Amino acid sequence: MSTDHQLAKIFPSKSNITLDQYKELHKQSIEDPDTFWSKAAKEYLDWFRPFDKVSDGSFEHGDVRWFQGGKLNVSYNALDRQIGKNPNKRSNDIALVWEGDEPDDIRKLTYEEVLRKVCQIANALLRMGVRKGDIVTVYMPMIPELAMTMLACTRIGAVHSVVFAGFSAEALAQRISAAQSQVLITADVGCRGGKQIPLKDIVNDSLTKMDCDSIVKHVLVWERFYTGDAESTPPYEMSARDVRMDPLVAVQRPYCPPEHMDAEDNLFILYTSGSTGKPKGLLHTTGGYALYAKMTTQISFDLHPGDLFACVADCGWITGHTYVVYGPLLNGSTTFMFESTPVYPDEGRYWDMVQRHKITQFYTAPTAIRLLMRYGDEAPKKYDLSSLKVLGTVGEPINPEAWRWYYEVVGNSNCTVVDTYWQTETGGHVITNLPGVTPMKPGSCTLPFYGVNAAVLDPQSGKELTEPDEHGHYEGVMALKQPWPGMARTCLGDHERYLNVYFRPYPGYYFTGDTVSRDEDGFHFIIGRMDDVINVSGHRIGTAEVESALVAHPAVAQAAVVGQPHDIKGQAICAFVMLTVGYEETPELLKELRGSVRTEIGAFCTPDLIVVTPSLPMTRSGKIMRRILRKIVCGETDSLGDTSTLADPSIVDVLITKVGELT
Ligand code: PRX
């Protein structure tokens, strides 16, 4: 047994099932999914009309559907259901605690208040002509109005497409155009780390790009510091299509009947990076997503009444959708929403918030843990963190060192660390330990969630591995063998792509794009992406997107981007560029190239390293061998493999020297 194994133990928890009972229930959920999910859907959700059929369709055709015939509304389930079930209590319960960029900027909203405001926003959207099925693009800072705008969309059946506010005007335009979204909701500014981000200016810029000027009919603008005075001059220059959101919302009726949505009606789209330069608009639908969001939040985090659940992700990513907004509210819990960064005003920010608000579940990414760990144990030790019960991690593999720090220093060896593995496509956790149920092993997301049939495939044959390696492990492709309710149903406007990316690589399986090692206990350790996607600070970035941002600059003839191991970010972006004739490498040019990536995608995708090279390692047919570049930046130059197929093998040594000089 390894040391990791010895650390594994079952922690006391209010959950009252054992590992064997979990295994039995998991087995039932796999063998008879319809019985399992039917029961769950009836128990967890309120339906306006019961469903006729639990599941249908197949991976092969990509026509999976859940709870057909059923009618429901997500905002109704998240808000009205909570109040209606227990009128005296829930309506006064806090639905949302928000802490702004400044630690003393705090808002607490009850379920009743959120419901009223969501209804007013919904009525404002109806007033602006938004109808069921319309796609509304949302480009907002992390303020309560963002969560309420999302819920208002679901109330009237509009499909939200939230674009992370760190994306550039160009990237926003690409997403507006791809969705042909006529209504855009934004704010004048966002606040982060003491600085203001001029979101409205970025929006204005985006509307000059692609075909956005003719697509977007209305820009609805929240004001970050609205004073309540509708007669005041707005803090930005208004154009003909701009509408001040705060005064418009304030005059609406605070009740809006919820649209009766079909279980398979579209709920939201969310763009994510893939192997090509074009982001995929993954589409989630109503019934399956709501059920999966609610169940995974409750079970993976062992949620109980009175808990204060804090997921510090941004709503621009799937983690924010499922675990800031939908999951906690569907459970009638109190969700915590955070606008700032882990190090503002100092590195004690998270722990200060835990102490002040008595946070019970705290959910972040390994990159933040590694960053805070760097500052030492002092900051977490300064605060009373005894309210914490569960510490979650997501987005990338967590190294055992960071896991231990999280567990021992932050959790005082008293909390469960849940390592939740999932993706934008899966809607919610697919592999995760359950507090008090699954033993923990640092670095392992452990065992599958209910209804998730995890398989490890041989990358070549596509068959499930049956023989362990010399360590008793099964290392291969992470795949899922049967549908689950939270899965994305298509890529907006490109179902072929959906089939090609997820279901055709390994027929009969959903392909995650990750490699995994499964140990002798059946515990999963995610290794990383096997496609051209890199994971920077838990953000998934397509190398092709960064490459096209670089070649958008006239100085770049060709670019190849790979991930390089990074102590804090997990991976850093490393770009190899060949310059156009007439250009020379200068510090100014390198700055411009970084600027090009910021403009085309966003600052969070800025390359850490740009290597200017006379040529790239290419096969004779002109294909760039990224494998070799990856090995070079990882310092694995003694295992480069066969380089004889390269058109010019001598370039390898040139690059090794150059990278050595730069790093
Ligand atoms: O590579 C896996 C990694 O993040 C990818 C999904 O990225 P995205 O769709 O942006 O969603 C991130 C938040 C769910 C996966 O393919 N990943 C996610 N969670 C883990 C992880 N890698 C290891 N361990 C995890 N817990």
DSSP 477: E
- The atom of ligand 1 lying closest to the CA of 313 is 13
**Average pLDDT in the chain:** 94
Are the beta carbons of 456 and 518 closer than 8 angstroms?
A: yes
- The atom of ligand 1 lying closest to the CA of 529 is 1
Q: Which of 416, 482, 400, 403 is nearest to 449 (CA)?
A: 482
Calculate how far, in angstroms, residue 286's C-alpha sits from the geometric centre of ligand 1.
22
Are the beta carbons of 391 and 420 closer than 8 angstroms?
A: no
Calculate how far, in angstroms, residue 471's C-alpha sits from the geometric centre of ligand 1.
25
Are the beta carbons of 410 and 391 closer than 8 angstroms?
A: yes
Q: Whose CA is nearest to atom 4 of ligand 1?
A: 395
Q: How does pLDDT run across 191-250, given as a tens digit for each residue?
A: 999 999 999 999 999 999 999 999 999 999 999 999 999 999 999 999 999 999 999 999
Calculate how far, in angstroms, residue 223's C-alpha sits from the geometric centre of ligand 1.
33
For the entire predicted model, the pTM comes to: 0.95
Interval 402-406 mean pLDDT: 97
Strands 242-244 and 416-420: unpaired
**pLDDT of 492 over the 70 cut:** yes
**pLDDT of 469 over the 90 cut:** yes
Calculate how far, in angstroms, residue 349's C-alpha sits from the geometric centre of ligand 1.
25
Report d(CA 269, CA 281) in Å as an integer. 6
The more confidently predicted of residues 439 and 88 is 439
Residue matched to tokens 């194994």? 5
Calculate how far, in angstroms, residue 420's C-alpha sits from the geometric centre of ligand 1.
8
Are the beta carbons of 60 and 54 closer than 8 angstroms?
A: no
Angle, in degrees to the nearest 10, between helices 33-44 and 286-300: 80
CA separation, residue 540 to residues 4, 531, 608 (Å): 28, 11, 16
| Ligand 1 site residues, Cβ closer than 6 angstroms | 272, 318-319, 394-397, 419-424, 445, 512-514, 526, 529, 535, 540
- Terminal CA-CA length for the chain: 38
Q: What is the ipTM of this complex?
A: 0.99
What pLDDT is recorded for position 520? 94
What pLDDT is recorded for position 641? 83
**pLDDT of 13 over the 60 cut:** no
Q: Among 297, 540, 545, which is best to mutate for testing ligand 1, by the most ligand atoms less than 8 A from CB?
A: 540
Q: How does pLDDT run across 638-648, given as a tens digit for each residue?
A: 888 888 888 88
| 536 SS3 class | strand
Q: What is the DSSP string of 93-110?
A: SEEEEEE-SSTT-EEEEE
**CA 565 and chain centroid, separation:** 21
Q: Among 535, 571, 605, which is best to mutate for testing ligand 1, by the most ligand atoms less than 8 A from CB?
A: 535
Q: Whose CA is nearest to atom 12 of ligand 1?
A: 395
Q: Whose CA is nearest to atom 15 of ligand 1?
A: 423
Are the beta carbons of 543 and 561 closer than 8 angstroms?
A: yes
What pLDDT is recorded for position 640? 87
